Structure 1
């Protein structure tokens, strides 16, 4: 067996395509190497913090989003429906529309994608659970909100976050569990009452409502199916949608494993391999992302094998007894 150590594992001679879960961008090999160096340093720092922290800060994700994946990359305006199934969990997202106050016309809004909506949902989930309410009080400055997520506050990051907030707010979600002859479906617009329109001039102070409201159906389901994640780990993995998804999946699954379980490469590809048609390329990128996850989830026990990935019982990244303070 090829056991993947908990320290960071990076692809040798990386290319822009090797940054897991993100689209290949323009730039030289040197630029990519510098990016990976920044990521490595951030992960090693996070590993030190997580290894020494007795009382980690927790963020929460809905278990459906720990088992199924939103798009890694922009699926394009032509793609209006996104469906994923993993075991008993089912996710269906349908892109929506918003009324433009300037043109007084409806404008199609695309599907959420990439790391940002995953981080946004974890933050908003946590604030809702902490308040015990579907209505969440938030900062009125978008820049302050981005800082809370430990993201860059440059113009590009602000544009990306506000775009993903708009996509999340306009989309309709169906979250489902099916087992045997029984199935439960939650149909909801997860975020309600959100102003999608911002000033075009990024130098202006970007304001948004003082509260964001979850739909009652989603909030009730979140209370029952919230999975605690380590906030430091999410921040360290904020460069990669794939790494965030692998981390969330392992966080909700490893502590429930009783005996060693094999997840075949075909199943891993079905779950995490969107955009990677070739298995050899997926395996390469998955191993890199998994190495980064292992750096911020040192308690995770697993082995990589030619057949796939063996899972072993492991403690969750945030113990339940530490969550009760919410």
Structure 2
């Protein structure tokens, strides 16, 4: 039984059943993959009621609340910071700091970004996510729908606080993610570069029997494209790969005319 199936039944994952690459990696970053790069409200007169990413085997569907979609760099930084705090404290209840400025500083953003951070946090905490997986069992697709946050409290004479949804908290804490929050915090990564960094890190950790993989532009667009026109996406991905690849010492990532090539870096024996 896969992790998603066990979570739906309220069971703890069996220690003797190693999680699959999808269960430990893809689920952990599904929310990042589901967050739009830009505001869907600015792309068309009627924003979509949901955004679907992935292929027939693995999909993430994000639905906004009345505040609209979270998008761009800020909610990605928020999610990675929350994941780190959840692992450090072992609690789904995350303190956001005494003031909004404290929270913004934790994210590595300038104080001038306070209003944008609060707006994006409100959108993120109110969004609903559906994780769909048809790989956990033969012809037995499963799905989990959850909000990012069970509840949240912004600053009104008291410290800010958010309580993560149970499924999200368990996905974060049951398996470590090979992501360096400080590298994201201190770097000037684009939204797509954060996604590529997360994906490349997980590729190294969980595809242990694979030394290299070539992905065509179509597959890359499924993972990272977010409805971008292909020519624009290809340029943005190449730039994102250049930003993200240096952060993952165990692999190389090269943009090619027909897609990209990821290779495990073979360290010389000592």
Global fold match (TM > 0.5):
yes
Q: Secondary structure at the match of 1:137?
A: strand
Aligned equivalent of 1:145: 103
Aligned in 2, Cα 1:175/1:138: closer, same or farther, shift over 3 Å?
same
Deviates more, 1:208-217 or 1:264-273: 208-217
Deviates more, 1:241-250 or 1:295-304: 295-304
Aligned equivalent of 2:174: 224
Aligned equivalent of 1:289: 240
CA contact (8 A) 1:69 1:245 kept: no
Aligned equivalent of 1:261: 213
Alignment of 1:56-135 (within 5 A): 63-65=28-30, 68-76=33-41, 78-86=47-55, 88-96=57-65, 108-135=66-93
CA contact (8 A) 1:68 1:84 kept: yes
Aligned equivalent of 2:145: 187
What number of residue pairs does the alignment pair up?
A: 234
Give me the TM-score of the superposition, normalised by structure 2.
0.76
Q: How big is each residue's C-alpha offset from its partner over 1:195-229, in whole Å with a ceiling of 9 and x where there is no partner?
A: 36x7xxxxxxx766443111222212222355231
Return 5+ residue gaps in structure 1 as ranges.
Answer: 1-59, 97-107, 199-205, 316-326
CA contact (8 A) 1:233 1:297 kept: no
Q: Using the alignment, how far apart are the partners of 1:171 and 1:312 within structure 2? A: 35
Aligned equivalent of 2:192: 242
Give me the TM-score of the superposition, normalised by structure 1.
0.64
Q: How big is each residue's C-alpha offset from its partner over 1:242-294, in whole Å with a ceiling of 9 and x where there is no partner?
A: 111111111111333313211112211222223531x3332222111111112
Aligned in 2, Cα 1:87/1:311: closer, same or farther, shift over 3 Å?
farther
CA contact (8 A) 2:249 2:265 kept: no
Aligned in 2, Cα 1:119/1:289: closer, same or farther, shift over 3 Å?
same
Aligned equivalent of 1:178: 134
Return 5+ residue gaps in structure 2 as ranges.
Answer: 1-24
Give yes or no for the alignment of 1:313 onto 2:264. Answer: yes
CA contact (8 A) 2:253 2:261 kept: yes
Give yes or no for the alignment of 1:161 onto 2:113. Answer: no
Aligned equivalent of 1:280: 231
Q: Using the alignment, how far apart are the partners of 1:241 and 1:146 within structure 2? A: 17
Deviation (angstroms), 1:86: 4.8
CA contact (8 A) 1:91 1:176 kept: yes
Q: Secondary structure at the match of 1:173?
A: strand
RCO comparison, higher one (Cα < 8 Å, 6+):
1
Deviation (angstroms), 1:92: 1.2
Q: Using the alignment, how far apart are the partners of 1:208 and 1:169 within structure 2? A: 19
Q: Secondary structure at the match of 1:193?
A: strand
